[in-house]
Amino acid sequence: MDNSLKTSAGVMKNGWSFWVCDGAVAGTTSQARRIETIQVQNRLTQ
């Protein structure tokens, strides 16, 4: 079985970011905006 982790971040004044997988950046970079909420999905595939 493979395990995949997906995350999305709720960013101040931007709203929700796109879903990203396995360690990619969720949210923004170089904009000095805080993450207010996060969503995490764990997927098991066979």
The whole domain housing 9 covers 2-45
- Dihedrals φ, ψ of 26, to 5°? -105, 125
Look at residue 10 in the predicted model and tell me its pLDDT. Answer: 95
How far is Cα of residue 30 from the mean position of the Cα atoms in its chain? 16
- Contact (Cβ atoms closer than 8 angstroms) between residue 33 and residue 3: no
Name 24's Cβ contacts closer than 8 Å, sequence gap at least 6: none
Question: DSSP code of 22?
Answer: T
Q: What's the structural domain count of the chain?
A: 1
Residue 1 has pLDDT above 80, yes or no: no
pLDDT in tens, 9-37: 999 999 999 999 988 898 888 899 999 99
